[in-house]
Amino acid sequence: MPCLVCPKGKTASLMEYRDNPGGGCYDRRVSGFGFEILAESSVSDEKRDSEDTKGCRARLGKVTTPHGEFDTPAFMPVGTKGTVKGLLPQVVRETGSQVILNNTYHLMLRPGSELVKKMGGVHRFMDWDGVILTDSGGFQVFSLGDINELNDAGVTFKSQIDGAMVRMEAEDSMRIQNDLGADIIMAFDDCPPAKITDIDGQSPAGRHAVSDKEYDTRNRQAVERTVNWLKRSVDAHNNDAQALFGIVQGGTDLAMRSECAERVVEMDLPGYAIGGVAVGEGHEKMMQITRHTAPRLPRDKPRYLMGVGYEKDIVAAVKAGVDMFDCVLPTRNGRNGNAFTGQGQIRLRNAQYKEDARPMEEGCDCLTCRRFSRAYIRHLFMADEMLGPMLVSIHNIRYFQRLMVDIREAIRKDDWSIVGANRPVLDMDA
């Protein structure tokens, strides 16, 4: 958008208007936040920036925040309610995790952002000395909440804790995230439901899906609200130590993705996210969206694919130019006795592991694999002992962090065989 006060007609971000209403344009920096690209895949700039979906755009980088740095591509374990379920913070650190995600929706409902702020912010509250990202709460409102009203101003939903009606708008999301004090915060957005014809198999997301006709209208609404709510989020955000990321919506409609990306990027933010994926559309459709959208986000800003995912999703998205990922799979599956390995998932409740003295995965350096057998872990699950879910969660998080280490090394050496070695589950030759 053209700057109203700059005689050169320079483009200015909404934050520049807000913080410098009486003068010319200037660059506004988030205190202590930065992103550096250290290496990129060896393809030409023309191919990297083209529509050629086969061009590898992977990049190795580092994000700097007031609470430390993290290497990219990065995987963030999900600490929904201020804890990665069942694991002490130092144990999460020992898995190689440098950044974790907290959930605004859940922390708003309990214990409340005001209490977290009073306790010194979420880092001190949960004793995590690394980087924290908080989502905006929008996705959980739309996927978990019993919505009473959704309009262009915001959403009213029923609390899943006590049934109270709660109103959330962009300004509320910013206030809550400012109170929590995470290093990276997300703009409030409208995540549209999936289209019935895009649902892959028996995905649980199908229960929220809408008809093709309804989808077009709802998707347009979501893009307009996401852009407008981003502007309001920028205006309401009042902590320069927190980097505010914008989110691109648009569903499976690539033209809508392009439009939303263009309008969101106009805000000139520290980073950007691709939202509204992994909602039942399947791997190929998800990657089509990602390959289309990622090149439309600034090269010099971190790119975040929200809620993803399985190993093959992460590898493909990294090759599309994505830098950050989060997903509940490692811990959710871990609590249910499902362990990730390079050969595929193993279900530890199965009788075949009753007398299996092997570690969860040969060659894994996690605490679980160094010290415990499959037979012992199976016993813990069969006896309903809490240690079982803890041990598998530790292994699963470390498994994903080892994958990220190998991905970063593959980019550094320009050798993707590093990632495929001992991981037939990835099927790198497919």
Residues with catalytic roles: 135, 326
Measuring CA to CA, how many Å separate 426 from each of 265, 403, 420? Answer: 33, 11, 7
Q: d(Cα 180, Cα 167) in Å, to the nearest integer?
A: 18
Do the strands 165-169 and 154-158 form a parallel or antiparallel pair, or are they unpaired? Answer: antiparallel
Sign of the C-alpha dihedral computed for residues 386, 306, 272 and 400 taken in this order:
positive
209's tokens: 């899906």
Beta strand residue intervals within 66-188, DSSP E: 68-72, 74-77, 99-102, 131-134, 146-150, 154-158, 165-169, 184-186
Whole-angstrom distance, CA of residue 370 vs CA of residue 206: 40
Whole-angstrom Cα Rg for the chain: 22
Using a 10 angstrom Cβ sphere, with 0-12 exposed, 13-18 middle and 19 or more buried, the burial of residue 162 is: exposed
| Cα–Cα dist 104/305, whole Å | 18
Q: Which of left, alpha, beta for 216 (phi over 0: left; psi -120 to 50: alpha)?
A: alpha
User: Which of helix, strand or coil describes residue 228?
Assistant: helix
Residues 285, 290, 293, 295, Cα dihedral to 10°: -140
Q: How far apart are CA 167 and CA 283, in angstroms?
A: 34
Q: What burial class does residue 413 get, using C-beta atoms within 10 Å of its C-beta: 0-12 exposed, 13-18 middle, 19+ buried? A: exposed
C-beta of residue 208 within 8 angstroms of C-beta of residue 193 = yes
What is the four-CA torsion angle of 248, 156, 81, 95, rounded to 10 degrees?
-10
Closest by alpha carbon to 133, among 358, 354, 302? 302
Kindly give, in sequence order, each residue whose CB lies less than 8 Å from that of residue 133, ignoring residues fewer than 6 positions away: 76, 99, 100, 101, 102, 182, 183, 184, 185, 186, 326
- Number of other residues whose CB lies within 10 A of the CB of residue 201: 7
